[in-house]
């Protein structure tokens, strides 16, 4: 946006490192490389503060950030913004959003523009305080059109909503696939892979049911699931009940999930709720054929007949049939996988995400 150097606070109160923090990190790095200054505000010792995001153009500030209506942290943030002449507060989580709004109230008419990221496809709780909170930001940046639709239904004004898709790091997926031996899977068998936390909305139970159905047509099929979480024991029990435990491998949490994705004959996303679905992006970027449920922004990436197979959520019969179709029509699957890779390169890279975010900033500062 011209030659003006922007001064931006990036606010995130999370103590862990998940997709939102990774997206924020790529944004900070991209902004720094374009000459903009960043203040990272987070909890002391959090990965958001300790990770490398952009060298000399990044200043780190620790605050308590105890809940979304922490008045002390909001007051400290307001003082920082006034002292450093901040142009924009970009809140990267729901609780950070609340603190940013309070800081703006402390600053009154001289407040920076406030942007809140929205990364999930379920609606906010409808109580009065939440409705006030979501009416305050100058812009809510949604990671998919589905998320924007949910916020519109919640009551957010159209002119406060913008879609900026999450990004994928192409270098992260350009890795060697994990060997079959490392996964405990025989060579030369068709392999379904999936990566994601073992939590309810990822719906791995649906995947297990679909896999069991697909094996009736493709008996030598195997399944590998990368991810940790509270439902592992339940899912292992379900696999045993379905009679497929000897064909399913649970790898646990993996930092090298792209290697698992690249090892698959087909990648499956079985969720019933997502914001966008960045694991799908990684599979498309890796050139692995994709079968996905229509959750969150999946249909913004998986285009039936062009980039993959898309089926209704919570429908194991449909998911199983799509798996069989993908595996039995290998040439078609590989053509769609190549088209999926091109789509990611054109629309879902980190530089593209940074440029679109800068466009949002420019529009806000012009208004």
pLDDT in tens, 165-212: 999 989 889 999 999 999 999 999 999 999 999 999 999 999 999 999
* Rounded mean pLDDT, 9-20: 93
Q: What is the pLDDT of residue 172?
A: 87
What percentage of the chain exceeds 90 in pLDDT?
Answer: 93
Q: What is the pLDDT of residue 367?
A: 74
In CATH, which of 3.40.630.30, 3.30.465.10, 3.40.50.2000, 3.20.20.140 is domain 170-347? 3.40.50.2000
Residue 121: what are its φ and ψ, rounded to 5°?
-100, 5
Structure tokens at 248: 């399913």
Let me know: does 345 contact 119? Beta carbons within 8 Å.
Answer: no
Residue 1 has pLDDT above 80, yes or no: no
Q: Where are the domains of the chain?
A: 7-167+349-366, 170-347
Strands (E), the chain: 7-11, 37-42, 58-62, 88-91, 113-118, 139-142, 161-163, 191-195, 222-226, 248-252, 266-269, 290-293, 309-311
- pTM, two decimals, is 0.91
Q: What is the pLDDT of residue 336?
A: 98
Query: What is d(CA 59, CA 61) in angstroms, rounded to the nearest whole number?
Result: 7
Which of 95, 120, 118, 92 lies closest to 11 in space, CA to CA?
A: 92
Pairing type for strands 161-163 and 290-293 reads unpaired
Q: What is the pLDDT of residue 18?
A: 84
Residue 3 has pLDDT above 90, yes or no: no
* Rounded mean pLDDT, 91-100: 96
φ/ψ bin of 211: left (φ > 0), alpha (ψ from -120 to 50), beta (otherwise)? alpha
What is the enclosing helix (H) or strand (E) of 48? helix 47-50
Mean pLDDT of all residues belonging to the chain: 95
Which of 121-130, 136-145, 298-307 shows the lowest mean pLDDT across its residues? 121-130
Mapped onto helix, strand or coil, the DSSP state of residue 192 is: strand
Angstrom distances, CA of residue 108 to CA of 63, 81, 126, 131, 181: 21, 12, 26, 20, 61
- Supply the CATH classification number for the domain 7-167+349-366: 3.40.50.2000
β-pair partners for 39 = 9, 59
- How sure is the predictor about 2, in pLDDT bands with cuts at 50, 70 and 90? low
Task: Please report the DSSP string for 277-298 in residue order.
Answer: -HHHHHHHHHT--EEEES-TTG
Structure tokens at 321: 């049939």
- How sure is the predictor about 53, in pLDDT bands with cuts at 50, 70 and 90? confident
Residue 317 has pLDDT above 90, yes or no: yes
- How sure is the predictor about 302, in pLDDT bands with cuts at 50, 70 and 90? very high
Q: Are 7-167+349-366 and 170-347 equal in CATH topology? A: yes
Structure tokens at 64: 């308590």
* Rounded mean pLDDT, 82-91: 98
């Amino acid at each position: 946006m011209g030659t003006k150097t922007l001064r931006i606070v990036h606010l995130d109160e999370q103590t862990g490192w998940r997709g939102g923090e990774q997206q924020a990190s790529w944004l900070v790095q991209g902004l720094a490389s374009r000459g903009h200054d960043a203040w990272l505000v987070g909890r002391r010792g959090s990965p958001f503060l300790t990770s490398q995001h952009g060298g000399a153009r990044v200043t780190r500030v620790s605050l308590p950030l105890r809940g979304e209506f922490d008045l002390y942290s909001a007051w400290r943030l307001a003082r920082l913004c006034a002292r450093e002449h901040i142009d924009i507060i970009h809140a990267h989580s729901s609780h950070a959003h609340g603190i940013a709004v309070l800081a703006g109230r402390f600053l009154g008419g001289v407040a920076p523009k406030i942007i809140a990221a929205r990364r999930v496809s379920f609606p906010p709780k409808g109580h009065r305080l939440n409705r006030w909170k979501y009416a305050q930001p100058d812009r809510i940046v949604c990671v998919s059109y589905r998320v924007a639709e949910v916020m519109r239904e919640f009551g957010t004004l159209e002119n406060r909503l913008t879609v900026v898709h999450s990004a994928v790091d192409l270098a992260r997926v350009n890795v060697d696939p994990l060997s079959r031996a490392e996964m405990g899977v025989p060579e030369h068998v068709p392999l379904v892979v999936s990566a994601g936390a073992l939590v309810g909305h990822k719906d791995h139970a649906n995947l297990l049911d679909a896999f069991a159905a697909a094996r009736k047509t493709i008996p030598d099929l195997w399944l590998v699931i990368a991810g940790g979480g509270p439902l592992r024991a339940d899912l292992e029990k379900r696999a045993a009940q379905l009679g497929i435990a000897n064909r399913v491998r649970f790898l646990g949490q993996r930092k090298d999930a792209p290697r698992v994705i690249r090892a698959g004959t087909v990648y499956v996303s079985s969720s019933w709720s997502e914001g966008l679905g960045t694991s799908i992006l990684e599979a498309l970027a890796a050139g692995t054929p994709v079968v996905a449920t229509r959750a969150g922004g999946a249909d913004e990436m998986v285009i039936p007949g062009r980039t993959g197979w898309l089926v209704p959520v919570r429908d194991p019969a449909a998911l199983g049939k799509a798996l069989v179709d993908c595996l039995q029509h290998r040439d078609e699957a590989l053509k769609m996988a190549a088209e999926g890779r091109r789509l990611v390169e054109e629309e879902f890279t980190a530089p593209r995400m940074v440029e679109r975010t800068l466009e949002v900033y420019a529009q806000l500062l012009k208004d």
